[in-house]
Amino acid sequence: MSQGTYFEDFAVGEVYVHQRGRTVTDYDNYALTHLSMNTAEAHFNLVASKQLLDGRFTERLVAGPCTLNLVVGLTAQDMSENAFHDIGMNKLRLPNPVFAGDTLRAQSEVLELQDDRADSGVMRYRFAASNQDGTTVAEGERIVRLKKRAAWAHKDAAVMPRPAASEKQS
């Protein structure tokens, strides 16, 4: 677990440019499309996709839930590694299509912090993702309940001990 992702480590207005990017694969799209029983052929049938909207698309469209899952995953290390409850997501938008081979990058902004319990607090953050051309492909808000360091750091260290400086690999 990251040490800097407890509730008290965040401040309203902070912006995080997430370091990892993710290239979307056909497998990502197929797996989520079929696991969710999505029957829209434009996600798995190339001929159908090419015929959609008078031939506007030349590739299969990545399903929206797949895009959102990948984007939230890109934000997780910085924003929600110490979350234990996903409260919700809202204001979701997918303004432009995503295709296999696109590389997504994300950034997040802390919108609200609610210090409502001794062991945890609620954070609402806005996320946005763009493809390799800088075109926005996803945006929304996510609300999570985060652990507080005073209540959880000792317990987390017992479960996931950090290597001593002499044990770290270079």
- Rounded mean pLDDT, 84-100: 97
Structure tokens of 102?
């696109």
Q: What pLDDT is attached to residue 3?
A: 60
Q: What pLDDT is attached to residue 119?
A: 96
Query: What is the C-alpha separation between 93 and 138, in angstroms, rounded?
Result: 6
- Rounded mean pLDDT, 61-68: 96
Half-sphere exposure of 2 (CA within 13 A, CB side): 16
pLDDT digits over 6-60, tens only? 999 999 999 999 999 999 999 999 999 999 898 888 888 889 888 888 888 889 9
**Domain 7-160 homologous superfamily, CATH:** Hotdog Thioesterase (3.10.129.10)
Three-state secondary structure call for residue 67: helix
Domain ranges, ordered by start, for the chain: 7-160
Q: Which residue has the higher pLDDT, 121 or 170?
A: 121
Q: How buried is 5 (Cβ within 10 angstroms: 0-12 exposed, 13-18 middle, 19+ buried)?
A: buried
**Among 22, 26, 58, 18, residue whose Cα is nearest residue 44:** 26
pLDDT digits over 125-170, tens only? 999 999 999 999 999 999 999 999 998 888 887 876 655 544 444 4
Q: What pLDDT is attached to residue 41?
A: 87
**DSSP string covering 127-160, please?**
EEEE-TTS-EEEEEEEEEEEE-HHHHHHHHHHHS
Query: What is the C-alpha separation between 111 and 126, in angstroms, rounded?
Result: 7
Structure tokens of 94?
């997918």
What's the pTM value of the predicted model, to 2 decimals?
0.86
Strands 136-147 and 103-114: unpaired
